[in-house]
Structure 1
């Protein structure tokens, strides 16, 4: 008989367990949608530079930090100290807040550029959609991480 590998709510997974447990299953979609925002914004003219610079910072920062978070969890580095459940909640809550602000900025700039070239406008709309999807994923991950932290 095969043993089940279900994680209790309070335990943090490591290894391939991060691919099968909620909220950790959201790592890869967060990286995909965040990477798409990064790519789509970078593929167009970054005008005006200030709000779109913030969008680029958020997408690159969250992509790199999520990648580091995956590596730490995959290698089991979080098993050496306590507080990782709280740090997981704090990071994903901050990332959700950052992505929400970036998505609102991006939507506003896209709205202002609607009279421009149609190809660029469509790319900007796709970036807005992916930014809001990334925001949603980070928010769901933060909520589920807070539940896990509460039970830790």
Structure 2
């Protein structure tokens, strides 16, 4: 049995489980990551996806990160990680990888929006959806970066 309490930052060699994941940093970021990821996916999927357009990559990143983040949330919520340092290290690795994926997708999405935003192919509504997707994509990148940093701090405390 673990004898010390989790701090707000989830440090001190403690990986929360159950409802405690919604009370500690970085684990509290799972929900916004899922919400913003779902918004990116929905917004990009509701626009034109041209064959030569890298928006398919953006959708793939959004789907991958949404599914894996949800599964990661379930592992922590169910307590399957058993408070081990290897899970803390894997948490850092996954969120760092997700941050890099989202950064690359965000840059591509911003490029697409700038390049195709004023063309006759896209109307004003499509342009606005793309701009919103870019904003949420960069916000999700930031969330994953913050999650990575605080996960690394927690991992070092093991």
Shorter-chain TM-score tier: over 0.9
Question: How many aligned residue pairs are there?
Answer: 149
> What does residue 136 of structure 1 align with?
142
Within-5 A mapping of 1:41-80:
41-79=44-82
Tell whether 2:118 aligns with 1:112.
Answer: no
Is the Cα contact below 8 Å between 2:18 and 2:76 reproduced in 1?
yes
Question: Compared with structure 1, are the counterparts of its residues 81 and 128 closer, same or farther at alpha carbon in structure 2 (3 Å cutoff)?
Answer: same
Give the Cα separation in 2 of the matches to 1:19 and 1:52.
32
* RMSD over aligned Cα atoms: 1.6
Give the Cα separation in 2 of the matches to 1:11 and 1:128.
35
Give the Cα separation in 2 of the matches to 1:50 and 1:121.
15
> What does residue 24 of structure 1 align with?
27
Alpha-carbon distance, 1:73 to partner: 0.4
Deviates more, 1:91-100 or 1:114-123: 114-123
Instruction: Provide the secondary structure at the position in 1 that maps to 2:25.
Output: coil
TM-score scaled by length of structure 1: 0.93
Question: Compared with structure 1, are the counterparts of its residues 133 and 80 closer, same or farther at alpha carbon in structure 2 (3 Å cutoff)?
Answer: closer
> What does residue 88 of structure 2 align with?
85
Alpha-carbon distance, 1:51 to partner: 1.2
Structure with the bigger percentage of helix: 1
List, as ranges, runs of 4+ consecutive aligned residues in structure 1 with deviation greater than 3 Å. Answer: 4-8
Match of 1:36 among 35, 39, 48: 39
Alpha-carbon distance, 1:53 to partner: 1.1
Question: Compared with structure 1, are the counterparts of its residues 118 and 89 closer, same or farther at alpha carbon in structure 2 (3 Å cutoff)?
Answer: same
Q: Which runs of 5+ in 2 are unaligned?
A: none
Q: Which runs of 5+ in 1 are unaligned?
A: none
Instruction: Provide the secondary structure at the position in 1 that maps to 2:105.
Output: helix
Give the Cα separation in 2 of the matches to 1:29 and 1:81.
25
